[in-house]
Structure 1
Amino acid sequence: MTPRNTTDPGRNWRDIPQQMHPRAMSTEGRRRVTYSVLKTVGFVVVLAGVVWGGFEVAGTFRETPRKGSEAMQTSPVKDLVLVTDGVLDQAWMNHALALPKNTSLMALDLYQLRARLLASGQVRTATLTRSFPSTLAVSISERAPVARLSAQDKDDLPRTLLIARDGVVYEGVGYDAAMIQTLPWLAGVKLTRVGGTFQPIAGMESVAELLAKAKLEAEHLYNTWKVVSLGRLESDGEIEVSTKAATKITFGINEDFFRQLANLDAILDAAAAHPEKTLREINLAVGSQVPVAFADAAPASSGPAAGRPAVLVAPVPAPAAPASRPLVLPSFTIR
């Protein structure tokens, strides 16, 4: 007997009513889902912020050069800084530069300002540097005087000028008065002025070398020197020095200055043993044979040794040389 199939072919097990419910999501699961969503949202927000910030920074960089340039163009100079190896001070620099009020650092013509500093003659070199936003730094190197002269224009009173080693003539500012008094006067030169500036005096290198050697090696002799004449420097290669005792000493630029100073010191020591005689001339320019002349009496108070020699700025005819007594034969010879 064949069993009867009672199953309805149109139905399957899915049609059977189920009594079970889907399992609910746990708290930990919901937390993980929430964290994942928040992390995604946060990443999107951060990314958007980075993109926005990039655009803002790029815009700032584009605007900064223009704004910075405008600020430098309009910011006035607030500080002037001076660095020097000499005696000039801040007040002198402020007066020499004469900067307009509220002028900006970028508007300054540094070449023109440098020319103003050099025009004094006392400044040998000058360097000007902009230090943003509002500082102008000035570094200068100054000349040092080796001699002085008294110059006089046709209608002006005499005035004291200083001469540097390179022959530059200038008025001089800031020097100690006592130091200036130790400088010898310069004579036998023609002082010319072109465009308001005195022309350098030729031959000052040799004179400066003699003065420096005397001050360093024989300061006791240097302190007695009053006038240094260049009248025979170009023609005969000789420098004439007049002392406070009215003795004329001739140095030769072709001879060693140290040897000449040693000879001079020996002669003065020997002459000191004869106070009844007054030295009138000593010629050190002729080599080891040094002619020495004595005077019978002290000379009159006249000539360059009596006071400061005046140098006329305008060219004038040279005065006639005064008559001089014949030289006395040398009293002794230094070998």
Structure 2
Amino acid sequence: MIGNGKQKGSTSASGQQSWRALAGAPKSTRVKSPQARKRRQNQLFKLFAIFFVSMMLIGCVVWGVIAFKNRKEPIQITTPSKPVEKVLFDTNGVLPSSWLGTVIELRRDTTMMEIDIYKMKQQLEAHGQVVSASVQREFPNALKIEIKEEEPVMRMRVVGRDGKPELRIVSREGTIYQGVGYPQATLSQLPYLVPYRHPEGGFKPLLGIDKVAELLEVARRTQPKFYRTWQLVSLEHYSGDPELPGEVIEVRSPMVPRLIFGFNTSFEQQLDRLSVILKYVQSRGNPAIKRIDLSLPGSAAVQFVSGRISTF
């Protein structure tokens, strides 16, 4: 018998002799199921799509830069503008549409967007007869111009550059301008003005003309026949401040050579008193009157050519 019983079944191998040790460590294996393969394909597709979009964006930017540097024609930002084909002109006064050509320049090929409407407005308002002007584009091809004119109340003669007398119009605001478009019938109804001469010389600016215009308007409304005989308004004693003592407006006409209005009472009351005086004089055979002073507080003084003076 070879050996003893204690060594029965033994071998010459040493160390741990288990089944797990003999089989070795477990190896990691990739799951090869259809679901796993599909997930991997989706991930690859997403990465490819991101890469493709990035390359497209980079390509567009590069192309835009190159095209901008190499462009030969300017980029059109606004839409093409049509030429002005008609001018819509409107005014509250007498200026004719032909007057526009003497103030503004408008070429036949001028487009709507080439017009500087603000500059054109300033050019129109620089004219003495214009109080305000409105200039608007009426697309597609019209220009709308609206004018507000001065209101004429009197006329005056001035010495022109050539030494000859020239006619000027005086507005309610005291503006002196060369009237354009007024009919002769309108001008003939305006009395002439002798302006106030300032101590330092000269006539402008004319102040307080709104009070003169008020007197003329009341006379035109209440005594139209007598008003039509008013030939001249003298402001020799009216500086434009009705609050100053001694300030009067003098009117001259064939019926009454000198007619004095003051500011102590309303023009309506003074004209009412004048109407009473004229009726009284007419009832006495119309003796020639030299002067009627309505500026006295509460009364009026009438000086006749004969030298007699009556108080009313």
The answer to whether TM tops 0.5 is yes
Question: Structure 1: which 5+ runs fail to align?
Answer: 1-65, 192-197, 297-327
Instruction: Report if aligned partners of 2:130, 2:147 keep a CA contact under 8 Å in 1.
Output: yes
Query: For residues 190 and 299 of structure 2, what CA distance do their matches in structure 1 show?
Result: 30
One-letter amino acid matched to 1:291: A
Query: Under a length normalisation based on structure 1, what TM-score does the superposition of the two structures give?
Result: 0.64
Q: Which runs of 4+ in 1 moved over 6 A?
A: none
Q: Deviations over 1:55-86 (max 9, x none)?
A: xxxxxxxxxxx7682412xx321111112212
Match of 2:217 among 208, 212, 229: 212
SS of 1:102's equivalent in the other structure is: coil
Say yes or no: does 1:245 pair with 2:245: no
Q: Deviations over 1:36-68 (max 9, x none)?
A: xxxxxxxxxxxxxxxxxxxxxxxxxxxxxx768
SS of 2:274's equivalent in the other structure is: helix
SS of 1:71's equivalent in the other structure is: coil
Match of 1:271 among 281, 286, 309: 281
One-letter amino acid matched to 1:330: I
Q: Deviations over 1:130-155 (max 9, x none)?
A: 12222111111111211100111464
How far has the Cα of 1:103 moved from its partner? 1.7
Equivalent residue number for residue 92 of structure 1: 99
One-letter amino acid matched to 2:208: G
SS of 1:272's equivalent in the other structure is: helix
Say yes or no: does 1:231 pair with 2:236: yes
Query: For residues 132 and 68 of structure 1, what CA distance do their matches in structure 2 show?
Result: 18
SS of 1:213's equivalent in the other structure is: helix
Equivalence map 1:1-335=2 (5 Å)? 69-72=78-81, 75-153=82-160, 155-190=162-197, 199-234=204-239, 236-245=246-255, 247-275=257-285, 277-296=287-306, 328=307, 330-333=309-312
Aligned residues with identical type, % of pairs: 31
How far has the Cα of 1:119 moved from its partner? 2.1
Instruction: Report if aligned partners of 1:185, 1:226 keep a CA contact under 8 Å in 2.
Output: yes
One-letter amino acid matched to 2:186: M
User: Greater relative contact order (Cα 8 A, min sep 6): structure 1 or 2?
Assistant: 1
Size of the alignment, in residue pairs?
A: 229
Q: Deviations over 1:294-328 (max 9, x none)?
A: 113xxxxxxxxxxxxxxxxxxxxxxxxxxxxxxx4
Instruction: Report if aligned partners of 1:284, 1:290 keep a CA contact under 8 Å in 2.
Output: yes
One-letter amino acid matched to 1:181: S
Query: For residues 160 and 124 of structure 1, what CA distance do their matches in structure 2 show?
Result: 20
One-letter amino acid matched to 1:219: P
SS of 1:141's equivalent in the other structure is: strand
One-letter amino acid matched to 2:267: F
How far has the Cα of 1:128 moved from its partner? 0.5
One-letter amino acid matched to 1:133: P
- With 243-252 and 210-219 compared, the bigger mean Cα shift is at 243-252
Instruction: Report if aligned partners of 1:166, 1:205 keep a CA contact under 8 Å in 2.
Output: yes
- With 128-137 and 149-158 compared, the bigger mean Cα shift is at 149-158
One-letter amino acid matched to 1:272: Q
SS of 2:134's equivalent in the other structure is: strand
Query: For residues 128 and 267 of structure 1, what CA distance do their matches in structure 2 show?
Result: 53
One-letter amino acid matched to 1:225: W
Assess, with a 3 A threshold, how the Cα gap between structure 1 residues 332 and 212 changes in structure 2: closer, same or farther: same
One-letter amino acid matched to 2:92: D
Larger Cα Rg: Structure 1 or Structure 2?
2
